[in-house]
Amino acid sequence: MLVVGDSLSAGYGMRRDEAWPALAAARIAAQGLDWQVANASISGDTTASGRSRLAAALARHRPALVVIALGANDALRGLPIDAMRDNLRAMIREARAARARVLLVGMDMPPNYGEAFRQQFRATFAGLAATERVPLVPFLLEGFATRRELFQADGIHPAAAAQPLILDNVWPALKPLLSRGRRAPAGMARRPPSPR
Is 154 a residue of the active site?
yes
Which residues is 41 bridged to in the sheet? none
Is 157 a residue of the active site?
yes
Side-chain half-sphere CA neighbours of 55 within 13 A: 3
pLDDT of residue 182: 54
Residue ranges covered by each domain of the chain: 2-182
Active-site residue (options: 49, 61, 157, 168): 157
pLDDT of residue 179: 85
**21 in Cβ contact with 39 (< 8 Å):** yes
Is 61 a residue of the active site?
no
Q: How far apart are CA 188 and CA 160, in angstroms?
A: 37
pLDDT of residue 110: 87
According to CATH, what is the number of the domain 2-182? 3.40.50.1110
pLDDT of residue 181: 57
What is the longest distance spanned by two Cα atoms in the chain?
Answer: 47
In the chain (196 residues long), the average pLDDT of successive 10-residue segments reads 98 96 98 96 98 98 98 96 98 98 96 93 98 98 96 96 98 93 44 37
Active-site residue (options: 6, 7, 45, 108): 7
Is the pTM value of this prediction over 0.85? yes
Q: How far apart are CA 1 and CA 190, in angstroms?
A: 19
